[in-house]
Structure 1
């Protein structure tokens, strides 16, 4: 497998899951500062010009949640998705919230052109990010984290996803110490070999 990623983006959630799974993969970085994600060579891999993209035997996969699910299915013995149906649904509940709401809140800081043409609108979006990301942190603490990890004591795909999103909080103007559950969650994640490995590789 080949994972196309950019450092400190949501694509690193897939790298963490791959490390947790023990599956072999090649990590291929893209330099967003140079616009490599918009070049024709990468557009042939992912026409959306975004990361992550995962090249597998059956073709090319995109979208973080889909890639995480693929990794878990490829390595079923690692328990990245719980066997209990309700717990698995709770895991996905958090993942879908991250994809549909919290990541979008964050994207308003630098990606205002996706939603509006006027520069004045972009500034308004940027100014709102600290508020919306703080509200998302409140939701995660009250409804997302059920212990050290999303599902309590057990690690799951949602933790890889949430950890990367939580790595953006300071830059988004969130008062992180005001959320001790998130602080404890990040500490628990940083103690995992998977996170240490991707950090040592310069992905985080």
Structure 2
């Protein structure tokens, strides 16, 4: 059985949705970030990075939500949430998941946690503004790639759609949320209409906006 260490609204959203899509046995262990449980020795033994999510799969511990998502999709190929290995579609799947985590998610970290990088308040404000501008460009780029979809990679629903929708939700506090880009908003609406997404939201006790 899988064990997922998670906290509400974090990057644990993506693997949590995948569990619901696959319908496989799993155990959820909530990590109280407000109580700094992610910095306690017992959790650092699981994930020395002190972040969520962390997945325990047998004797293996995986961290990084995108890596967990790709692993789960490969472990459950019957669900079809990843294109076949060796295809151009698989290459694009890698490309966009890498972009979402390395570029889009990184900009969110700068926006939500500028104090992680800078002590000066004015410089923090400038960093947030820069992150907003980068995110606006990302939504435009992603929207162009998605087009009429219906999914990120065309006709196939994949981990990319789940990961993107998680990030779209994160944009709800920004001056210009991701759903202002029409194609991105339509895709996110399709994902969050799925029963798996709705079950995740109910279990985590979170809302869309």
Change (3 A) 1:131 1:97: same
Alpha-carbon deviation of 1:55? 0.8
Alpha-carbon deviation of 1:144? 4.6
User: For the residues of structure 1 that align with 2:189 and 2:56, how far apart are their CA atoms?
Assistant: 31
RMSD: 1.8
| 1:24 is aligned to 2:16 | no
* Contiguous gaps of at least 5 residues in structure 2: none
| 1:49 is aligned to 2:43 | no
**DSSP 3-state at the match of 2:34:** helix
Query: Deviation digits for residues 156-190 of structure 1, max 9, x if unmatched?
Result: 01111111001011212224453111121111011
Structure 1 counterpart of 2:124, from 115, 122, 125 = 122
User: For the residues of structure 1 that align with 2:49 and 2:177, how far apart are their CA atoms?
Assistant: 33
Alpha-carbon deviation of 1:193? 1.2
Query: Deviation digits for residues 9-36 of structure 1, max 9, x if unmatched?
Result: 1111011112112221111122222222
- By relative contact order (CA 8 Å, sep 6+), the higher-ranking structure is 1
Alpha-carbon deviation of 1:145? 5.4
**DSSP 3-state at the match of 1:32:** coil
Between 43-52 and 81-90, report the one with greater CA deviation. Answer: 81-90
Contact 1:54 1:61 in 2 (8 A): yes
Contact 2:146 2:152 in 1 (8 A): yes
User: For the residues of structure 2 that align with 1:147 and 1:71, how far apart are their CA atoms?
Assistant: 24
Contact 1:21 1:71 in 2 (8 A): no
TM-score (norm 2): 0.90
Alpha-carbon deviation of 1:119? 3.9
Residue 8 of structure 2 is matched in structure 1 by: 7
Change (3 A) 1:95 1:115: same
| 1:135 is aligned to 2:133 | no
Contact 1:2 1:54 in 2 (8 A): yes
User: For the residues of structure 2 that align with 1:66 and 1:175, how far apart are their CA atoms?
Assistant: 26
1:1-204 matches, cutoff 5 A: 1-83=2-84, 85-144=87-146, 147-176=149-178, 178-202=180-204, 204=206
Alpha-carbon deviation of 1:59? 2.1
